Amino acid sequence: MSILITGGAGYIGSHTCLCLIEKGYDVVVIDNLDNASDESLKRVTRLTGKEIPFYEEDVRNTDKVIEIIGKHNVDSVIHFAGLKAVGESVAKPLMYYENNLVSTVHLAEAMEKTGVKKLIFSSSATVYSQNNIVPLTEEGNLGCTNPYGWTKLMNEQILRDAAKAHPDWSIVLLRYFNPVGAHESGTIGEDPSGTPNNLMPYVSQTAVGRRDHLTVYGDDYDTHDGTGVRDYIHVMDLAMGHVAAVEYASRFNGCDAINLGTGVGYSVLDMVKAFEKANGLKIPYVIGPRRPGDIATVYSNPEKAARLLGWKAERTLEDMCRDQWNWQKNNPNGYR
């Protein structure tokens, strides 16, 4: 039995492959390498000593997915594949809807045709609308402000309907908060193409000299220091959350949304200071205007994950900052 990992060469997918292999699972990866390099999987092989069957394929190619499921005796799927840049999704909404929705529909069709019944889907805290109180529970109001977010919410609906039509299916919608950091070895990590949109890759690229300085997007929010507060989670904790979700999918039928976060919020300046302290570095920064679409404070209530998955995040803020830098300093230009 294998687990099919779509988008497995990417940031979260490669770390999840590593954790699954270490737990004794067989994995097979499909990735079109649109936003990744297969070097990540070669490095996972180096770390685990296990070859990963890899197909440079598009998930929208249903016939190929069906062939791979049959060949590798696939029993469950983790669906990471998708485009994820918020700004790009505003500029190219149709590309985002086409890639992110069609890939999920075709993948679910391939599951129907082959009898695979378990799916873990990469959703996001971005599906929560702005009029919620924190910490966010899974019952929070839903709604998005950009096409990327809508693809996540629409995919959740598509999968809820698929699970209703197939009462023996198990679908877990994992709503990630803010993944950061890298594997402790510094061998695999996040390798964003172009200028990073997210905070921590920007911080570590500033530290390594690829960026002059960080711009802090606003210091007039209603938070303890005026800068935005988020729930940063170590990518290895997030990866372990997928292992727990695969196990949970064997114990339940239906479709359920679960937050993967730490339950603790840190501000932008908290993160800068923690990164400086953990690594003995200085991060030059300037205060700029707010980024459109941002809100003051987002963090999770992680109790449902603890109750249903038996999982909680274990790594500290210091671990996140140390591992982020360990990856960046060993790989100043990512996988290139």
Regarding 215 and contact with ligand UD1 (CB under 6 A), the answer is yes
Touching ligand UD1, residues 226-245 (CB under 6 A): 228, 230
Instruction: Give the Cα separation of 231 and 245 in Å (integer).
Output: 20
Q: Which of residues 12, 18, 52, 86 is near ligand UD1 by CB under 6 A?
A: 86
Instruction: Find the residue with minimal CB distance to ligand UD1.
Output: 228
Q: What is the largest CA-CA distance in the chain?
A: 56
Spot the catalytic one: 148, 221, 232, 248.
148
Instruction: Find the residue with minimal CB distance to ligand NAD.
Output: 10
Q: Where are the beta strands (DSSP E) in 20-169?
A: 26-30, 54-55, 74-79, 118-124
Q: Which of residues 294, 312, 329, 335 is near ligand UD1 by CB under 6 A?
A: 294
Q: Which of residues 99, 178, 223, 324 is near ligand UD1 by CB under 6 A?
A: 178
Q: Which of residues 217, 276, 281, 306 is near ligand UD1 by CB under 6 A?
A: 217
Please choose which of ligand NAD, ligand UD1, none residue 228 contacts, taking the beta carbon within 5 to 8 angstroms, the exact cut-off set by kind: ligand UD1
Instruction: Give the Cα separation of 332 and 182 in Å (integer).
Output: 14
Whether a cis peptide bond, with omega within 30° of 0, leads into 135 is yes
Q: Which of residues 32, 123, 124, 324 is near ligand UD1 by CB under 6 A?
A: 124
Instruction: Give the Cα separation of 142 and 129 in Å (integer).
Output: 5
Q: Which is nearer to ligand UD1, 163 or 229 (CB)?
A: 229
**Contact predicate 75/116, CB 8 Å:** yes
Please choose which of ligand NAD, ligand UD1, none residue 331 contacts, taking the beta carbon within 5 to 8 angstroms, the exact cut-off set by kind: none
Long-range pairs, 91-100, Cβ under 8 A, ≥24: 93/147, 96/147, 96/148, 96/151, 97/147, 97/150, 97/151, 97/154, 99/60, 100/148, 100/151, 100/152, 100/155
Instruction: Give the Cα separation of 205 and 66 in Å (integer).
Output: 40
Instruction: Give the Cα separation of 118 and 318 in Å (integer).
Output: 35
**Residue 299 designated active-site:** no
Shortest distance, CB of residue 235 to ligand UD1, whole angstroms? 12
Which stretch, 54-62, 197-205, 239-247, 274-282, contacts ligand UD1 (CB under 6 A)?
197-205
Give contact residues for ligand NAD (rule: CB under 6 A).
Answer: 6-7, 9-13, 30-36, 58-60, 80-84, 99, 103, 122, 124, 176, 179
For the CA atoms of the chain, what is the radius of gyration? 19
Shortest distance, CB of residue 6 to ligand NAD, whole angstroms? 6
**Active-site annotation, residues:** 148
Judged by the rule CB under 6 A, the positions of this chain that interact with ligand UD1 are: 86, 124, 126, 149, 178, 197-199, 202, 214-217, 228, 230, 268, 291, 293-294, 298
